[in-house]
Chains A and B, each alone.
Chain A
């Protein structure tokens, strides 16, 4: 039964629904909705927004474009950087009653190393998710779309920490399953997929790209079927647990991904439409009988 606790990378989680990185901010939500939000999140684990070594402003606006059945974003990983995140955000996030998974991204190997070394040993952090899949930053796409590059990176990070390593691979690769296989062989503890699918929108007036970052990442129900196919392919090829995401907006969507082999399901864009969507999705999922 899905309502029962689930084991994931040595963690005992209350249920299968977590958030996708960058789609929920417990600190901002607590300010917007009241202080108890941070201790009553609708997720069984929380994945942070991507942390980089240096602070980042992110991409110039506009950053959003609405699509039929979804949206496209070009956010550009704005964050306060490793030092400020550890000093300012980590103490607040440690008030959560669920495990914290820190999502990190480097623009070169040394930056990944700095992040993994700094965060891997922290008691407040239960696992690290390596963002090798963000389509808005060129370097991430290269590592995450190439099985060899990805394997090299994971091997190097594996030597630096005993913390569980989750590798978030990109859908913008010719063979995401090959990347997952390589990550598993290099010592990854779990795979998460999919990140957003690269897209483009034109300004209806000027006919130039609408988004400040030129291209963006498509998310929402528009990519659900693409996600299901990639999750199915990866789950059939690796033995390590898989966190699946991509357009999940109902318990049925989550059940589809679990029936393809996912251990956890992440809610992303649906959090934007309804901050408590994950609770509804979890309740719906618990009423569904999954394939044993």
Chain B
């Protein structure tokens, strides 16, 4: 008898091979971290199969997260899809610090927006209007900014798919706003060894893992889509 099953070697059998760079959505002083997982490939699928009591090799925390805008500036946090994770972690920190802030979360549809049932004070939008307002985070951002006093200084802190980040970058550039963008790019090591995760900046290629993944929008000419140019 010969026995095989689907995914028996060859196809995805050896994947995932590399670690996956994942932002935490929550953390506490006891070293407990929460993660938000969206199964999109062999890495996230394998992580979704992890059971209580399983061992994980976790390297981190790594990289530079969002930084606090100065006291006079109102942070507007913008998360798209799985990019909601670091945005909500930052929102928790701002809340703990007693800092007023705004949160905009955008999702494809209601089925991808499940986590919003556990969040409060977030402006939620979906592409299809199945939950929250029908529209994009940029639409909501414009509405929010129009509702603020014109002289009120704001800074954008955003994480999401490349198209969304590019739209936030262009918006910030057009309006003269500061923006912190958390880029997502595949990584091999996460600690500066492989130079595989570089992103083009105005100062040339820099490693997202050790020099980012949060960059000031003004450092970037544009946020590139995934894959070859």
Question: Is this pair of chains taken from one and the same complex?
Answer: yes
Report A's interface with B, CB cutoff 8 A.
Answer: 22-25, 27-29, 31-33, 57-58, 60-64, 66-71, 73, 75, 78, 203, 205-206, 208-212, 220-222, 269, 271-275
Distance from A37 Cβ to chain B, minimum over Cβ atoms (Å): 9
Question: CB of B172 within 8 A of chain A?
Answer: no
- Closest residue on chain A to residue B19 by CB atoms: A273
Q: CB distance B188 to A68 under 8 Å?
A: no
Residue-wise interface mask of B (183-209) relative to A, using a CB-CB cutoff of 8 A (1 in contact, 0 not): 001111111111111111000110100
Q: CB distance B193 to A221 under 8 Å?
A: no
In the bound assembly, the distance between CA atoms of A58 and B196 in angstroms comes to 10
Question: Which residue among B12, B14, B190 has the maximum number of chain A CB atoms within 10 Å of its CB?
Answer: B14
Q: Which residues of A contact B224 (CB under 8 A)?
A: 61
Question: CB of B50 within 8 A of chain A?
Answer: no
Q: CB distance B196 to A73 under 8 Å?
A: yes
Q: Which residues of A contact B186 (CB under 8 A)?
A: 62, 64, 66
In the bound assembly, the distance between CA atoms of A31 and B62 in angstroms comes to 10
Q: CB distance B16 to A61 under 8 Å?
A: no
Question: CB of B13 within 8 A of chain A?
Answer: yes
Question: Which residue among B16, B192, B193, B207 has the maximum number of chain A CB atoms within 10 Å of its CB?
Answer: B193
In the bound assembly, the distance between CA atoms of A63 and B229 in angstroms comes to 12
Q: CB distance A60 to B229 under 8 Å?
A: yes
Question: Which residue among A33, A209, A211 has the maximum number of chain B CB atoms within 10 Å of its CB?
Answer: A33
With A58-B205, A75-B195 known as contacts, the answer to whether A275 contacts B227 (CB < 8 A) is: no
Q: CB distance B194 to A272 under 8 Å?
A: yes
- Closest residue on chain B to residue A269 by CB atoms: B188
In the bound assembly, the distance between CA atoms of A180 and B229 in angstroms comes to 39
Distance from A217 Cβ to chain B, minimum over Cβ atoms (Å): 11
Q: Which residues of A contact B197 (CB under 8 A)?
A: 63-64
Q: Taking chain B's interface residues, is the majority helix, strand, or loop, or is none over half, making it mixed? A: loop
In the bound assembly, the distance between CA atoms of A272 and B192 in angstroms comes to 9
Which one of A31, A62, A68, A220 contacts B210 once the chains associate, using CB atoms below 8 Å? A31
Q: CB distance B228 to A66 under 8 Å?
A: no
Listed A/B pairs (27) with beta-carbon separation below 8 Å: A23-B194, A24-B193, A25-B191, A25-B193, A28-B192, A32-B191, A33-B191, A60-B229, A64-B186, A64-B196, A64-B197, A66-B15, A66-B16, A68-B13, A69-B13, A75-B194, A75-B196, A78-B198, A203-B228, A206-B227, A211-B228, A212-B228, A222-B14, A273-B57, A274-B57, A275-B59, A275-B191
Q: Which residues of B contact A210 (CB under 8 A)?
A: 227-228
In the bound assembly, the distance between CA atoms of A57 and B229 in angstroms comes to 17
In the bound assembly, the distance between CA atoms of A3 and B173 in angstroms comes to 59
Q: CB distance B15 to A205 under 8 Å?
A: no
Q: Which residues of B contact A70 (CB under 8 A)?
A: 14, 17
Q: CB distance A78 to B227 under 8 Å?
A: no
Question: CB of B150 within 8 A of chain A?
Answer: no
Q: CB distance A68 to B15 under 8 Å?
A: yes
Distance from B93 Cβ to chain A, minimum over Cβ atoms (Å): 21
Q: Which residues of A contact B193 (CB under 8 A)?
A: 22-25, 28-29, 271-272, 275
Question: CB of B31 within 8 A of chain A?
Answer: no
Q: Which residues of B contact A71 (CB under 8 A)?
A: 17-18, 188
Further contacts, 18 of them, CB under 8 A, given A63-B196, A66-B15: A31-B210, A33-B191, A60-B205, A60-B229, A61-B198, A63-B195, A64-B186, A64-B196, A64-B197, A66-B16, A68-B13, A68-B14, A69-B14, A73-B196, A78-B205, A203-B228, A212-B228, A271-B189
Residue-wise interface mask of B (56-80) relative to A, using a CB-CB cutoff of 8 A (1 in contact, 0 not): 0101001000000000000000000
User: Which bracket fits the contact residues of B?
Assistant: 35 or more
Distance from A142 Cβ to chain B, minimum over Cβ atoms (Å): 24
- Closest residue on chain A to residue B12 by CB atoms: A68
Question: CB of B11 within 8 A of chain A?
Answer: yes
Q: CB distance A205 to B195 under 8 Å?
A: no
Q: CB distance B194 to A273 under 8 Å?
A: no
Q: CB distance B185 to A61 under 8 Å?
A: yes
Question: CB of B98 within 8 A of chain A?
Answer: no
Distance from A147 Cβ to chain B, minimum over Cβ atoms (Å): 31
Which one of A22, A25, A62, A68 contacts B228 once the chains associate, using CB atoms below 8 Å? A62
Q: Which residues of B contact A66 (CB under 8 A)?
A: 15-18, 186
Q: Which residues of A contact B10 (CB under 8 A)?
A: 68
Shortest Cβ-Cβ A-B pairs, 7 listed? A28-B192, A68-B14, A69-B14, A272-B189, A64-B196, A32-B191, A272-B188
Distance from B220 Cβ to chain A, minimum over Cβ atoms (Å): 13
In the bound assembly, the distance between CA atoms of A60 and B204 in angstroms comes to 10
In the bound assembly, the distance between CA atoms of A272 and B17 in angstroms comes to 10
Q: CB distance A209 to B14 under 8 Å?
A: no
Distance from B55 Cβ to chain A, minimum over Cβ atoms (Å): 13
In the bound assembly, the distance between CA atoms of A220 and B195 in angstroms comes to 16
